[in-house]
Structure 1
Amino acid sequence: MYSHLTFAQLEQETDRLARGLIEMGVQPGHRMVLFVPPSLEFIALTFALFKAGAVGVLIDPGMGIKNVFRCLNQVDPDGFIAVSLAQAARKLFSSKVPNARFNVTVGKRWFWSGPNYSDLLGGPWTPLDAPDTKSTDPAAIIFTSGSTGPAKGVLYEHGMFAAQVDDIRDFYDIQPGEIDLPGFPLFALFNSAMGVTTVIPDMDPSRPAQVDPKKIIEAINDQGITQAFGSPAIWNAVSRYCVEQGVQFPTLKRVLSAGAPVPIAVIERMHKVFTSDDADIHTPYGATESLPVASISGRQVLAETAEQTRSGGGTCVGELFPGITVRVIEISYDPIPSYADVQELPTGEIGEIIVQGAVATREYFQRPDGTLAAKIPDGESFWHRMGDVGYFDERGRLWFCGRKAHIVETPAGRMFSVRCEAIFNEHPRVFRSALVGVGERPQQKPVIVIEPEAGAYPEDEPARKKFTAELAERAAGNPLTESIETILFHRALPVDVRHNVKISREKLSVWATQQLRATS
């Protein structure tokens, strides 16, 4: 049973909600935390906040209560629009958010006052006289996942969202009237701006790896989905089930997957479930601070770059979006005061990736230290440091070799996570692997941590020795990995809370250190 809103109904509902916010005292610039799960209400409330001129604050609750309150402390919100449980927490810990005076409950009020969603709607619709907003006015604060450090609030301006919509629509030729299944809630907002119908999937967006493939398949085939967006973890689960059960998607023509490199095996399985000759899976590359930057299609991967990836060449993220400028510069762990201080690297040489364009955000909210570390002033403009390392090939395609924070600095030189892990991931019983460093830079010991495929974990010493010997032979056969002598097994590598695919190598490094101490 599906509930729905037409675009006309959504336009009127957002007008009514925005008027309700303005009448309760919300003014342009007020910071309103939105704790509402993916739903029609989530979409309507987000656009209502835009219309009211307020700044929507989005924090992933999956990062844990302590980290959530750390984010709230940075923001000092003026109010909450939230489900009952979140409003209860806000009320119980009111001393931590002392200025949150505009509060709307989505659901039942328990022991607090204030309007609920229905109250905010007010009476019948009349056209809204919305406050004027400029392209440089703040629109939202979206917190990073915190996968490589404390979560930071990325300040978005209205013009940045508009640029994202234009870039994504034009690059992928997304047409009004298409039907999208967004496995990541924010993509539903792009749909509304593009005239694309959104079908909200029955899943927990904070646990994409635990998605029920049958529910995704049902939504795609029942609703005639033409496009779907989601973490590689979603498509890993869905494609495995589809291939095993012989399920195909006759209406699906475009899948977008981001958050981490999409494994080649997932791309191969997805191509087995498409029925249209034009259907493909695309990987847009970017970050919360700058998206989109580049993109590559599954067909390009399988035909042109897969073998290089398998042999340790990194992951090709493809051609740049129009209007985006990317440079590869000498790796530095320090702030860079001016673009005049950077050293650009030639084609084929691995360095730090920096980006310039209309979709690049200017700053982190109330985090001048983070802004200083991540932005490079360049006259009246700036560059964003992606925190990634990679290189350009001779065809001008961008390749990703891992996070800068995950470089292992050994006496023999730098080792890049994505390049080294690819060698081990080709073993048929390896689901994924993680390169970590034990010790201090630049004297780190490289360690590879293996998560075996389901049912392949070595449960006894003979099995462990056999599996280890096979992996050691593979390592010795490639100059990228020949220095790796320590192989550890882990039943489930820790991953980020947002996409469930970014491996938390910082945690694994601590774990590996403990393992080595225990066996020494």
Structure 2
Amino acid sequence: MHADITGLCDVVAAHAVPGDGIALSGIGASVTYAQLDARIQAALGALAALGLRPGERVLLLLPTSVEFVTAYFAAHRAGLVVMPLNPLLGPDEVRHILDSMRPAAIIAAPADGPYPVLSALDGLVADLRLSCLVLRSGPDQPFDRAMARARTDLPPVRRDGRDEALILFTSGTSGRPKGASHREAALITNARHANAVFSITRDDVLLCPLPLSHVFGQMVMMLGGLSAGAELSLVPRPGPAALFDAMVQRRPSIIAAVPASLAAVAEQARQTGHHPEPGRLRFVLAGGAPLPAATGTVFQNRFGVPVHQGYGMTEVACCIALERPGTMPTGGVGALCTPLSHRIVPLDPADPDQGELQLAGPNLLRGYYIDGTFQPRGDDEWFATGDIVRRDAEGTLFLCDRKKEMIIRNGYNVYPSEVEAALASHPGVLHVAVIGVADEQVGQEVAAYVSPREGHMLSADELAAWCRARIALYKYPRLIAILPVLPTNTTGKIMKRALDTAILRRVSLSG
């Protein structure tokens, strides 16, 4: 990280010097650091002219774009608290956040875009009687016109590192989202750690198929990359073909993606028969969901580069543990990130090496906003992640599963991730999700939802037999549904709560 970066207001400015490199690409014409810095300064002037004051909240409802990056850093330079949302969210989800958080301003993409919430936004603001500014951003949009006539010489607002800077909302896959509040210092700490672990320099090209509104894309790729002066190459709508083409044409050195995207792009490579040269690609990071071993193997076979895992969450402003470049993937999620401390609280006294992971450290959230009410977290308070882990002698963490997703079948603990890994190793399986379903005889039955690879015909009995040969008899799924696709949220994570139990069928195997 550049030595001049002490706050979020410095991230782009530190690299806007003569001979500066490309800051953003993949979104039309490339944007240099000097050009991006000038845009941010103009946006800062526009925000100041509109009367927004430090500490007020600004909600960003923008897709991955130069407009998102501009608004994000301009708001931080203005001392505003930034609340980024993915425009793929539905109007009802955004309505709840608007009603509970009451932002002073909203910077949004044009209403005629492909996202329903953008056309509904003005109506939501009127219905909720919000006294906030709605600023549409894009070519020839009101906010961009305000930028064109704004002052460009305003100094940034320098916050105390302990001040609130960012509110990130949990994904809401199991209920209404909560707002995790983060300090400025925590965000800089995480960017510095990403720089150090990945050895990011201004010579790197980071390919980002992740939404910048999400913690993974925002912290690891945007903050981690731009604070090092690297090129951030965006993939705004990353379908398999678009991501595959970007990998071939842009020759990135680092890629971060959710496992489902990596599986899809490897499948795209198989279908096209194209085996691109690795070129400069040196590191691939999977996060946002557990990485099936089969996905990592298939990707490495296609592209010649191993896939490493990372583990993080919104409440830590991203990274908890990472596998380091230059190491061989172990199936774990790597070593704990600094400056986190941890402890493992056993759920079963007979197995003290496995339990719920709890964390402490300065980069944890300040607290939650729940229905608009702030519930602070004590600085000396251990944070329960809800994740069940084990740790080996070398300090590598291995994720077992979410505590709340653990299935108890006939008194036995069954971790969905273990069953998912067994199913994912089948050559015909593309995506899989495992849940527990209430059952009168065994308490909870193991249920699996599977989508096949193109050209493969699967049967429930075949999949059950495949699992039965690989895991304990009490673990293999007795209920299976085979679907063309599995439901996902806006970040590509499978939404288990949206899976329909009525379509499951019981397999004919016995035992």
Give the TM bin, normalised by the shorter chain: 0.7 to 0.9
Distance 1:118 1:192, change over 3 A: farther
Deviation at 1:300, TM superposition (A): 5.0
Deviation at 1:370, TM superposition (A): 9.5
* Secondary structure of 1:389's aligned partner: strand
8 Å CA contact retained: 1:391, 1:400: yes
Q: Work out the CA distance in 2 between the residues paired with 1:242 and 1:449.
A: 25
**Normalization by structure 2: what TM-score?**
0.81
2:79 counterpart of 1:90: no
* Residue in structure 1 matched with residue 444 of structure 2 by the alignment: 444
* Residue in structure 2 matched with residue 319 of structure 1 by the alignment: 335
* Secondary structure of 1:103's aligned partner: strand
Residue 279 of structure 2 aligns with an amino acid whose one-letter code is P
Deviation at 1:161, TM superposition (A): 0.9
Deviation at 1:235, TM superposition (A): 1.8
* Residue in structure 2 matched with residue 22 of structure 1 by the alignment: 48
Deviates more, 1:149-158 or 1:433-442: 433-442
Q: Work out the CA distance in 1 between the residues paired with 2:56 and 2:495.
A: 34
Residue from 243, 262, 282 that aligns with 2:291 = 262
Q: Deviation per CA, 1:302-343, whole angstroms, max 9, x where unpaired?
A: 5xx3xxxxxxxxx51121123222222144xxxxxxxxxxx9
Alignment of 1:49-448 (within 5 A): 49-85=75-111, 88-107=119-138, 115-123=142-150, 125-126=152-153, 128-184=154-210, 185=212, 186=218, 187-201=221-235, 203-204=236-237, 208=238, 211-213=239-241, 215-243=242-270, 244-274=273-303, 280-290=306-316, 291-296=318-323, 300=327, 305=330, 315-331=331-347, 348-349=353-354, 351-366=355-370, 380-439=379-438, 443-448=443-448
* Secondary structure of 1:149's aligned partner: coil
Q: Percent identity?
A: 22
**Normalization by structure 1: what TM-score?**
0.80
Q: Deviation per CA, 1:219-245, whole angstroms, max 9, x where unpaired?
A: 345444222222222222222333531
* Secondary structure of 2:157's aligned partner: coil
Q: Work out the CA distance in 2 between the residues paired with 1:152 and 1:125.
A: 36
* Residue in structure 2 matched with residue 10 of structure 1 by the alignment: 36
8 Å CA contact retained: 2:101, 2:372: no
Q: Deviation per CA, 1:438-477, whole angstroms, max 9, x where unpaired?
A: 227992223333333333345xxxxx4xx50x33434444
8 Å CA contact retained: 1:387, 1:404: yes
* Residue in structure 2 matched with residue 338 of structure 1 by the alignment: none
Report how many residues are paired: 464
Q: Work out the CA distance in 2 between the residues paired with 1:364 and 1:194.
A: 30
Q: Deviation per CA, 1:9-29, whole angstroms, max 9, x where unpaired?
A: 222221221121011111112
Residue 153 of structure 1 aligns with an amino acid whose one-letter code is G
Deviation at 1:407, TM superposition (A): 1.0
* Secondary structure of 1:282's aligned partner: strand
Deviation at 1:345, TM superposition (A): 9.0
Which 5+ residue runs of structure 2 have no aligned equivalent? 1-26, 112-116, 213-217
Deviates more, 1:52-61 or 1:235-244: 235-244
Q: Work out the CA distance in 1 between the residues paired with 2:350 and 2:40.
A: 48
Q: Work out the CA distance in 2 between the residues paired with 1:200 and 1:391.
A: 35
Distance 1:273 1:382, change over 3 A: same
* Secondary structure of 2:366's aligned partner: coil
8 Å CA contact retained: 1:409, 1:444: yes
Deviation at 1:269, TM superposition (A): 3.4
Distance 1:391 1:356, change over 3 A: same
Q: Deviation per CA, 1:19-46, whole angstroms, max 9, x where unpaired?
A: 2101111111211111122121211111
Q: Work out the CA distance in 2 between the residues paired with 1:232 and 1:285.
A: 12
8 Å CA contact retained: 1:420, 1:481: no
8 Å CA contact retained: 1:27, 1:52: yes
Deviation at 1:138, TM superposition (A): 1.5
Distance 1:195 1:513, change over 3 A: same
* Residue in structure 2 matched with residue 506 of structure 1 by the alignment: 497
Distance 1:217 1:429, change over 3 A: closer
Distance 1:169 1:105, change over 3 A: same
Which 5+ residue runs of structure 1 have no aligned equivalent? 306-314, 332-342, 459-463
Q: Work out the CA distance in 1 between the residues paired with 2:46 and 2:373.
A: 37
Q: Work out the CA distance in 2 between the residues paired with 1:513 and 1:412.
A: 25
Q: Deviation per CA, 1:383-439, whole angstroms, max 9, x where unpaired?
A: 222222121123321111122221112332321111122223323323343332222
Q: Work out the CA distance in 2 between the residues paired with 1:345 and 1:363.
A: 34
Residue 325 of structure 1 aligns with an amino acid whose one-letter code is S
Q: Work out the CA distance in 2 between the residues paired with 1:81 and 1:401.
A: 40
* Secondary structure of 1:33's aligned partner: strand
* Residue in structure 2 matched with residue 311 of structure 1 by the alignment: none
* Secondary structure of 1:365's aligned partner: strand
Which has the larger share of helix? Answer: 1
